[in-house]
Amino acid sequence: MEDTDLDDSEFITMDQGAGGKQMERLIRDEILPLFDSEIGEVSLQGLDDSAVIDNMVFTTDGHTVKPIFFPGGDLGKLSISGTINDILALGGKPVAIALAAVIPEGTSINRFRKIFKSAARTAEKVEVPVVTGDTKVVEKDDLDEPILTTTAVGKRHHLMDENLELAGGRKKRWLSDDNLSDGDKIIVSGSMGDHGITILSQREGYGFQGDVKSDVAPLIDLMGEALRGGGVASAKDPTRGGLANALNEWSEKSDLGVVVREKKIPIKEWVSSASEMLGIDPLNIGNEGKMILAVHPSRAEKVVKRMRETERGKDAQIIGEVKEDIKDLVLETEVGGRRIMEPPTGDPVPRIC
């Protein structure tokens, strides 16, 4: 079909940008066929959150959150943190960031200034400079809030060689989604659902009780300590689609099953209460300051201990393990039963990152 004779009977939905099954189908069916998706050591074909080409880690990310200011963070902090964490999750060390903004006409200078000051502070704190960028302004009827796009480059972390030696001699040089092995322990760095419930609370004015605050943060210190513990095979920040989506991606790409124990998964009381009230599974809700790891069983306890010594890893916990005799993501419930954890169709809280 020629571009001049397009079929306009199908339309993009919110679910297709929410990190679950629908988004994966859109990417695999409509995007991957258009590009040479096998270029690089970690390529587009793998659908990891970053790629590796010429030994350079590379990632890009668009950020649209509503509201743009929320307890614990804002659009500026979110954009820098999320992109840094994607570099870290592959075993890279971020070197520099590009920051581009599309801003609706009529945005107040004070709001604009606050967003960019927050981005600058976040980047400066972790010593990853913003070195280039772009700015566009569009008519106010075309966009309701600013959208930031961040692109980052990184180099291979200096601890990666020793870390992977302790991970059972993996063939992969990077912490890619398909690098799991039978027996690996699954570790989460902290509580699930904080960011998504915070955004929902602010957006809808629910006023949930408790210290409602996003977890958004760059995780350079946490990942450094995890690699020092050794044996990390894969890492991932469970953003859109939450823990359930991230673990399902690991299981599918590694062709192995994963068993996790519900009672071991840290979830704050206010997240649990809000999720129950709204009929949302907190394991399907996005996080912006957490990391999940697959770690060789001989090193898992040491990795957890090191993570707990960092500001963002105090609640780190082993929640399950990889199993070659099953092919699904299985949740052992608190009452002793088992159920398949399907990946979400989409994130139940749209526009959170």
Q: What is the mean pLDDT of residues 26-50?
A: 81
Give the per-residue pLDDT at 17.
62
Please state the rounded mean pLDDT for residues 231-240: 96
The owner of tokens 């408790």 is: 210
- The pLDDT score that the predictor gives to residue 36 is 75
Stretch(es) of the chain classified as CATH 3.30.1330.10: 42-156
What digits encode the pLDDT tens for the residues 80-96? 999 999 999 999 999 99
Give the pLDDT score at 136. Answer: 96
pLDDT at 32 over 80: no
Residues 63-82 have a mean pLDDT of 96
Cα three-residue angle 7-13-17, rounded to 5 degrees: 120
* Model pLDDT, residue 217: 98
Query: In 10 A of CB 325, how many CB atoms?
Result: 7
Q: What is the pLDDT of residues 245-258, one digit of tens each?
A: 999 999 999 999 99
Q: Which amino acid is at 326?
A: I
Least confident of 13-22, 152-161, 218-227, 235-244: 13-22
Confidence of residue 3 (pLDDT cuts 50, 70, 90): low
pLDDT band with cut points at 50, 70 and 90 for residue 20: low
pLDDT value, residue 74: 97
Q: What is the reported pLDDT for 330?
A: 95
Per residue in 256-278, pLDDT (tens digit) is: 999 999 999 999 999 999 999 88
Q: pLDDT > 70: what percent of the chain? A: 94
Contacts of 318 (CB under 8 A, 6+ apart): 185, 186, 187, 264, 300, 301, 304
Give a three-class secondary structure readout of the chain: CCHHHCCCCCCCCHHHHCCCHHHHHHHHHHHHHHCCCCCCCECHHHCCCCEEECCEEEEEEEECECCCEECCEEHHHHHHHHHHHHHHHCCEEEEEEEEEEEEECCCCHHHHHHHHHHHHHHHHHCCCCEEEEEEEEECHHHCCCCEEEEEEEEEECCCHHHHHHCCCCCCCCCCCCCCCCCCCEEEECCCCCHHHHHHHHHHHCCCCCCCCCCCCCCCHHHHHHHHHHCCEEEEECCCCCHHHHHHHHHHHHHCCEEEEEHHHCCCCHHHHHHHHHHCCCHHHCCCCCCCEEEECCCCHHHHHHHHHCCCCCCCCEEEEEEECCCCCEEEECCCCCEEECCCCCCCCCCCEC
Nearest alpha carbon to residue 353 among 115, 114, 27, 18:
18
Average pLDDT over residues 116-140: 97
**What Å distances lie between residue 15 and 135, 269, 270, 349, CA to CA?**
28, 28, 26, 10
Q: What is residue 44's predicted lDDT score, i.e. its pLDDT? A: 81
pTM for this model (two decimals): 0.92
* pLDDT given for residue 1 in this prediction: 43
User: Taking a C-beta distance cutoff of 8 angstroms, is the pair 275, 282 a contact?
Assistant: yes
Average pLDDT of span 313-338: 93
Domain 42-156 belongs to what architecture? 2-Layer Sandwich (3.30)
Model confidence band, residue 346 (pLDDT cutoffs 50, 70, 90): low
Across the chain, mean pLDDT equals 91
CATH topology of domain 158-345: Phosphoribosyl-aminoimidazole Synthetase; Chain A, domain 2 (3.90.650)
**Which residues make up the CATH 3.90.650.10 domain(s) of the chain?**
158-345
Residue 242 has pLDDT above 70, yes or no: yes
Tokens of 79: 């954009």
* Residue 211 in tokens: 């210290």
Percent of the chain scored above 90 by pLDDT?
73
- The pLDDT of residue 48 is 84
Position with higher pLDDT, 22 vs 49: 49
